[in-house]
A and B are shown apart, each in its own frame.
Chain A
Amino acid sequence: MLLIPCPYCGPRPELEFSYAGEANIARPADPASLTDEAWAAFLYQRTNPRGLHAERWRHTHGCGRFFNARRDTVSDLFQSSWKPGEPPP
């Protein structure tokens, strides 16, 4: 089980959290103007890296808030976490 650093509450066990996928995928402002390729890329294509991954988590059974984190997908160790809207450390 992972120990996840919530930027609001500190390190807590994984069971308190929900994973919310890759970070920094902004919903297009005007979906109707997109090509099918661009819309499919927004919906479905993911970086899925072997190494550092910027991702979102939600502290569902804690403060309830979303935040961003960077984790190594090979070792599963968290490198950092930060609040939404803040620049990554």
Chain B
Amino acid sequence: MQRFSAFALARNALSGHTAWQRQWRSPEPAKEYDAVIIGGGGHGLATAYHLAHDHGMRSIAVLEKSWIGGGNTGRNTTIIRSNYLFNASSSLYDHAVKLWEGLSQKLNYNVMFSQRGVMMLAHNVHDEQVFKRHVHANRLNGVDNEWLTAAQAKEFCPPLRIDSGMRYPVIGAALQRRAGTARHDAVAWGYARAADSLGVHIVENCAVTGIVRDTTGAVEAVETTRGRIATRKLGVVAAGNTSVLMAMAGVRMPLESFPLQALVSEPVKPVFPCVVMSNTIHAYISQSDKGELVIGAGTDAYISYSQRGALHVSTHTLEAICELFPQFRRMRMLRNWGGIVDVTPDRSPIIAKTPVPGLYVNCGWGTGGFKATPGSGHLFAWTIAKDEPHRINAPFTLERFRDGFLIDEAAAAAVSH
């Protein structure tokens, strides 16, 4: 792997930046791998990287039906936080935040992780009580989170409107300072490059059409549009398409797939210093380093694989944004799009073994999976390599729905989807 550094940048400038190597290969799929990961998004690529880096596996393929990072990894609002209520969740998401903190150095790839703070607005007494409960629970778990008055919130985020004339006045906010954003494409590319340098095959334009099981029921191979690939360890990390893939192995999932929308404005100079979310009036907003305001809207009411959302859903969010930040009323929106998110009944993910030997699943991240990318990859790789869950993802099983140990995380969607 060609390492990136200031020196490499200067040396390549002398040759007009024509001598940079390709960041990952584009190999033909082999006939057999020790492990196959279905899904070349951030979570799948991170899983392959950790399988190779932490567990010494070398014969690994990541199968992606289109191009890497083209699904939800390239469609989310890039928010990273860990202020979840329950012990299991805050431990899971804070594990990821800790990995984010060293990720650029570890991958030798600038993922532009920016701990600019995520502020969640309270608009009524119920919000205030819920957020204070979160603040206290988080602090007991060693996760930073603090309560701000409305004036302190405005000081932290000057564009915020806090006057009492609002339909939903801001009465305070919960602030996690270690939270922030990262560059989503760079996360996929950085993991792909690092995994490739450890020998992982990243196979794009390769859709899985079937999962083959042997006479004992264990996974034997996958059928793909580029031929049959034998493997004994198969990890499904396919977000919205998880139900479809798991059905190929005869496993019914507690999942439903919904379109979730996001949109960006025209780029402007830096005007917005942090991430602001409001559950009650459904809005979340930050500004990318390119200058676009990145705004997240809600899910559509019905299941769909269409990768687009209804206009009335984004209109609803834009009305809330204009109410909170009147200075943005004349901003023009540049693009909007949808991603298909797989939602579990308790809004917590599943990172687990399945009833099928050799089949593992990492899904159910719903509306907030990007933030967990490094932790999800680390824990899923552990689960696949050792055939048992890591201490942190042990509660996030498929069986919790049967046994009644739900992790009913209302904060999973910081806005109510």
Bound together? yes
A residues with CB within 8 A of B: 1-2, 14-15, 18-19, 36-37, 39-41, 43-50, 53, 55, 71, 73-76
**Which of B252, B255, B305 contacts A50 (CB under 8 A)?**
B305
Closest to B243 in A: A48
- Contact (Cβ within 8 A) B310 A45: no
- Contact (Cβ within 8 A) B244 A46: no
| CA gap between A76 and B241 in the complex, in Å | 16
| CA gap between A56 and B141 in the complex, in Å | 42
Give B237-251 as 1s and 0s: 1 = Cβ < 8 Å from A's Cβ atoms. 000010110000000
**Pairs across A and B, CB under 8 Å, 21 listed:** A2-B310, A18-B301, A19-B302, A40-B254, A41-B252, A44-B401, A45-B252, A46-B253, A46-B255, A46-B256, A47-B243, A47-B252, A48-B303, A49-B243, A50-B305, A53-B303, A55-B302, A73-B257, A73-B303, A74-B305, A75-B306
B267: which A residues are within 8 A, CB to CB? none
**Which of B254, B310, B345 contacts A1 (CB under 8 A)?**
B310
B312 within 8 A of A: yes
Q: A73-B303, A73-B304 are in contact. Are A50 and B241 (CB under 8 A)?
A: yes
CB within 8 Å: A-B pair count: 64
B residues 329-374 near A (Cβ < 8 Å) are 345
B401: which A residues are within 8 A, CB to CB? 40, 43-44
B interface bracket (residues with beta carbon within 8 Å of A):
20 to 34
- Contact (Cβ within 8 A) B402 A1: no
- Contact (Cβ within 8 A) B306 A74: yes
| CA gap between A2 and B311 in the complex, in Å | 10
Interface centre among A40, A48, A75, A76 (most CB of B within 10 A): A48
A18: which B residues are within 8 A, CB to CB? 301
Closest to B312 in A: A1
B214 within 8 A of A: no
B403 within 8 A of A: yes
Closest to B345 in A: A44
**Which of B243, B306, B310 contacts A14 (CB under 8 A)?**
B310
Q: A1-B310, A15-B312, A49-B244 are in contact. Are A44 and B302 (CB under 8 A)?
A: no
| CA gap between A50 and B342 in the complex, in Å | 12
